[in-house]
Every structure is written in C-alpha cells, then in structure tokens.
C-alpha cells in the first residue's frame, strides 16, 4: 500500500498529528470499558466534529506486538515488514545496531525454585525502578563480556527493561535470528527455552541458552530481578523511511525507548527534551510545531495499566490526557488523529485482537455519527472497521495530500 501512496502523494504543506494512546481499546469490566467509564468532556466535544471508526492492527484475530502495530499505523504492511522488538528497543536507547548484531529485548523477572524447576513468579520483577535496573545491568556488564567469540553488551532501559547486544564477525540474516521468545507470558510456569525456528538459527539458539545461563548465575543473589526473560531477537532490517516514501519532515514525541526506536527506524526525528508527564510532552509538541509537518505523539501508560489489570489507573490516564487535549487542539493541526496501536483490556491483562477506536478531525471530516469517544460509538462512524495499514491513507486524504488514483 505504501507504494501506491508514494505515487499519489503531493507536496501540499500540511500539519498532521497522530496521537497514539498505547493499548487504548478495552473490554467491558464488568459493564464498561475504560474509555466508556472515563470522564472525557474534551474528547466527547472533539468527536462531534470528527470522523470515526475502528482499525484492526494486523488482521482479524491476530493479537499484535507493539512494533508490528506501530508499523501498521505508520503505513507499512506489518506482515511484510516484521521488525524485531530487540532492534526497536536498542535504537530507542541510542545503541548503534548493524547487520552483524543480534539485538535482544530483556525483562528482568523473578523466579523461584520448586523442586528441580524454575517457576516465574513475576514477569517484570515487580517493575523495579530504573536506578536498580542500572545497578543490575552494570553487574552484567562486568561479568558477561563474551560468549565464545561473540561480544556481549548490555544497556539499561526503563523499569524492568533492558537490551542485550551480541556482536558477531559476520553479517546476520533474518533467518538466522528466528528464535522463539523465552517469556512464557504468564506466571506459575517455567521460563521457555530459546528454540531455533529453522535450521539456520540453531547455532544462535545455543548461544542464547548459554547467555541465559550466565545471566541467571550472575543474578542469583538478587531478591527480585534474579532472572531474565528474552524476546525480540533481531538484526537491523531494511525498510524505507517516511521521508523517502512521502517527503514528510516527521518527528516523534515519546517517553519510552521502544517507541523512540520504531519512529527512528522509519526516519522520524526524536524530540529528546521530553519529560515523562503528558504535560511535558505537550510542551515539546508546541516547541516542535514550527519545524515539522508530521508529528507522532505516544502515551504509554494506558498500555502499562491495562497489562497490570489496573482498570482504575487506565481510566485515570485517559482522563489526564483529556485534560490536556485543549492545549493540543489549540495548535490547529490540519489533521488530528487519535487512536491506539492495539487494545489492552484490563480484563485480560494483555494485548488483544479487538478493534481499536479511531478519531480523525479535519475540514473534510464526515462527522455527527458518534457522540462519545468509546469503542461502541466509534463503530457507528463512516470509517467503519479497516486494517491499520490503511490509516495513513485516510489521514493523507483528509489533508488533501493524495492525488486521484486511476484514469
């Protein structure tokens, strides 16, 4: 689809804002979704002048990872461009990744020994603070520098997250990196073994198991973060950038490394002076407004609280965003789109395949069909249900940036 958009795009100078509330969608818990329960007078005012619908992140019934879901929002086919989480986290931490590197996303976790088995009791080590994370990563750096001829390095992320980079002496192929995650995605069970998903990745899977053994031995005295769950094994991919495809000067305003990473991968300029509050993100948006014409604005905590099953806190983040919305709309973007990358219902404490509400505000909006910004109300809108990879076409059309297709 991006090839078609590339041919149709024109050079009209417009200001476009894409706001992604991570994991926005929900399920009734027990009677209302988080969006339905939240008090959002500003969103409800905005939606009355907006076009609405819902997107399917990947395909019907497929639960997306955050990376794949974001690539779809940025107009890439997530089934064609399957970028590993490790690379995205690494780029977000400003770690240089080449095609000789294997990047790995890690979660510090808590395990306990039951008989002869290790059992995961907390997949995120109680969401340890970032200061503790840095101390533990320093310990890993000091104790694990090589596995055979492979150089090993670690870098701290936020809370329980970290990145591990393995440097090889030859270029890695996509097929060599096809290794299964070791995170079982639930507690009360054993960590998974890294499995090679084809013959070419057999050697790397063995190296990963040796890495896990070394990490486990190094962390044995830690009370919370005494283990590491690894996923997103990947090397640097080949992917066309936003500017190459659409001649857009795009920037990203994010607070978590992974989202900085994926926006950097597609050529967006990260705005580095952002604090962690939504208000500070809005301040950064206001300062960046004169310099760019496409803005990606990401809010993480809606997803975090959904994964924790914290219904009330997810509601509060939505309400906090609603309070700053007038500061955003006052900038008068030509097109404003508000959505999520996927649903993370507190009810199930994980990502889900359910449709994600979408709001698009422009002078071309077909409005008046939805009264509130909720899952049910957005389904009444003229956009209907569509695949997320088509959202960018809808946004560009609202900005009058697509020429006519065909004769």
> What pLDDT digit, counting tens, does each position of 148-197 carry?
999 999 999 888 999 999 999 999 988 999 999 999 989 999 999 999 99
Is residue 33 a contact partner of residue 354, using CB atoms and an 8 Å limit?
no
Q: Over 70: is that where the pLDDT of 364 sits? A: yes
Q: What is the pLDDT of residue 1?
A: 67
Is residue 5 a contact partner of residue 393, using CB atoms and an 8 Å limit?
yes
pLDDT band with cut points at 50, 70 and 90 for residue 85 = confident
Give the mean pLDDT of 358-374.
Answer: 96
Phi and psi angles of residue 163, each rounded to the nearest 5 degrees, phi first: -125, 140
- Percent of the chain surpassing pLDDT 70: 99
Q: Over 80: is that where the pLDDT of 273 sits? A: no
Q: What is the pLDDT of residue 403?
A: 86
Euclidean distance between CA atoms 269 and 249, whole angstroms: 8
Q: Comparing 1-5, 285-289, 319-323, 324-328, which segment has the lowest mean pLDDT?
A: 1-5
Give the start-to-end residue ranges of the domains of the chain.
Answer: 2-82+239-398, 89-234
2-82+239-398: what CATH class?
alpha beta
Q: Over 90: is that where the pLDDT of 319 sits? A: yes
Euclidean distance between CA atoms 77 and 399, whole angstroms: 22
Q: What is the pLDDT of residue 282?
A: 95
Percent helix, percent strand, percent coil in the chain, to nearest 5: 35, 20, 45
Q: What is the pLDDT of residue 274?
A: 63
């Amino acid at each position: 689809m991006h090839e078609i958009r590339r041919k149709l795009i024109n050079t009209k100078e417009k200001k476009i804002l894409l706001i992604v509330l991570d994991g926005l969608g929900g399920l009734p818990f027990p009677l209302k979704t988080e969006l339905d329960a939240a008090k959002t007078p500003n969103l409800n005012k905005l939606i009355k002048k907006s076009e609405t619908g819902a997107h399917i992140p990947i395909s019907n019934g497929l639960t997306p990872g955050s990376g794949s879901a974001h690539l779809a929002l940025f107009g890439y086919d997530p089934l064609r461009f399957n970028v590993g989480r490790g690379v995205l986290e690494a780029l977000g931490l400003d770690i240089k990744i080449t095609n000789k590197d294997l990047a790995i996303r890690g979660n510090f976790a808590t395990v306990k020994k039951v008989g002869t088995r290790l059992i995961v009791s907390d997949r995120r080590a109680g969401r340890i603070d970032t200061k503790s994370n840095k101390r533990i990563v320093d310990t890993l750096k000091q104790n694990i520098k090589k596995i055979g001829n492979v150089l090993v390095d670690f870098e701290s992320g936020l809370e329980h997250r970290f990145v591990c980079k393995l440097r090889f002496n030859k270029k890695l192929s996509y097929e060599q990196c096809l290794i299964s995650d070791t995170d079982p995605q639930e507690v009360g069970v054993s960590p998974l073994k890294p499995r090679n998903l084809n013959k070419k990745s057999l050697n790397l899977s063995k190296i990963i198991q040796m890495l896990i053994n070394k990490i486990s031995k190094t962390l044995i005295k830690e009370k919370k973060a005494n283990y590491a769950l690894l996923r997103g094994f990947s090397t640097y991919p080949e992917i066309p950038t936003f500017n190459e495809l659409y001649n857009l000067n795009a920037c990203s305003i994010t607070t978590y490394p992974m989202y900085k990473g994926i926006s950097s991968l597609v050529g967006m300029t990260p705005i580095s002076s952002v604090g962690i509050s939504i208000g500070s993100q809005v301040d950064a948006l206001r300062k960046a407004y004169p310099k760019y014409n496409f803005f990606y604005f990401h809010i993480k905590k809606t997803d975090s609280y959904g994964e924790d099953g914290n219904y009330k806190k997810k509601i509060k983040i939505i309400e906090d965003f609603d309070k700053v919305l007038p500061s955003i709309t006052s900038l008068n973007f030509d097109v404003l789109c508000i959505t999520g990358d996927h649903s993370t219902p507190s009810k199930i404490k994980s990502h889900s395949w359910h449709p994600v509400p979408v709001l698009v505000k422009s002078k071309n909006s077909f409005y008046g069909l939805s009264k509130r910004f909720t899952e049910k109300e957005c389904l009444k809108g003229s956009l209907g249900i569509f695949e997320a990879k088509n959202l960018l076409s809808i946004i560009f059309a609202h900005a009058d940036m697509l020429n006519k297709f065909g004769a």
